[in-house]
Amino acid sequence: MIALSLLAWASPTAALWAQSNEDDTAVSDESKAAPKTQSKAVRFWQAWASMATATQAKQPSWAVPLVSPFPMIAQVYRSDFTRQLTSAGTTTWSYGAGKGFNLIPAPNMQVDIYPPPYFQRNSATASDGWGDVGLLYKYRIAARPEATGNYIVSAQLGVSFPTGQHRNGAKYATVTPTILAGKGFGRRWSVLSSLGGTLPTSQAAAEGRTVHFNSVLEFRAAKLITMELEDNASFFHGGPNDGRLQNFITPGILLGRIKFFPNQPESRTGLVLGAGMQFATSSWHSYDHNVVLSARFAF
């Protein structure tokens, strides 16, 4: 998984850098005499940004959900903050919430790097500390923008490493294969869905496996405002929660992308903000409510 992610990143990166070098050698005598106004790093970034923009133009422009995995290809730095409340009155804050960099290294690809979140608890049985580090590779199988089909299908593979402190993570590394799809109806409505499983790489019988099924209904109320309703279901097989189902309903709102340079059409930089609340709807659940706050810097 790590090798695949590095390869997906390195190949197009090398190509973009080579292109910037070719631009240096394939210039006319007149341009050689003129002073250089852009460095190789600037030209490299411009080529990368153009590639990312062209890649995203081939898919629907739906909002990225608050909780559920999404089939779109995105390039942002994302940091979420959550506050879980249990029926016993204990609360858990997660700073970062397992989010991080979403990068587009090449057309149809996304590579994610997730720094460890930090957990702050008011429970006497657990300590504060850092969580697990994660990586993810996504491949967009097929997509059409709103005007020519309005759908998308992707597949992804996530990996989580047991770096958590004081039980703030898994005991063993896990892999999470997922298939994702979405269909839009006009320019306002869209339905997204994903099906995947979290599989421990060791002691699977004792740790158990979890199947995740997520569905999202989105409504674009205005150019920068999207309302959403998510259903987040987890089915446990084996382990301490064998046979249990946990389900949450998550209403939310997303604002953006608010462009930093609105007068520059080619500029990608902007801010997306989101907020929502998870409500437990299953008879068994590990927490009752969960406040979700999200900030995404698009680049």
123-179 pLDDT tens trace: 777 689 999 999 999 999 999 999 999 999 999 999 999 999 878 888 999 999 999
Mean pLDDT of all residues in 194-222: 95
CATH of the domain at 293: 2.40.160.40
Assess if residue 16 is contained within a domain.
Answer: no
Comparing CA positions, the residue from 48, 43, 42 lying closest to residue 12 is: 48
Assess if residue 10 is contained within a domain.
Answer: no
Assess if residue 213 is contained within a domain.
Answer: yes
DSSP state, residue 265:
T
Give the structural domain span for 261.
40-298
Mean pLDDT of all residues in 194-211: 94
What span, in angstroms and rounded, lies between the C-alpha atoms of 5 and 107? Answer: 14
What span, in angstroms and rounded, lies between the C-alpha atoms of 106 and 12? Answer: 6
Assess if residue 34 is contained within a domain.
Answer: no
DSSP state, residue 208:
-
38-61 pLDDT tens trace: 789 899 999 999 999 999 999 999
Assess if residue 245 is contained within a domain.
Answer: yes
Assess if residue 255 is contained within a domain.
Answer: yes
Residue 36's pLDDT is 55
Residue 31's pLDDT is 41
Residue 34's pLDDT is 42
Amino acid letter, 234: S
Assess if residue 81 is contained within a domain.
Answer: yes
> What domain count does the chain have?
1
Q: Is pLDDT above 50 for 25? A: no
Residue 206's pLDDT is 86
Assess if residue 27 is contained within a domain.
Answer: no
Q: For CA atoms 26, 32, 37, 39, give the dihedral sign.
A: positive
Strands 129-130 and 133-144, by their bridges, are: unpaired
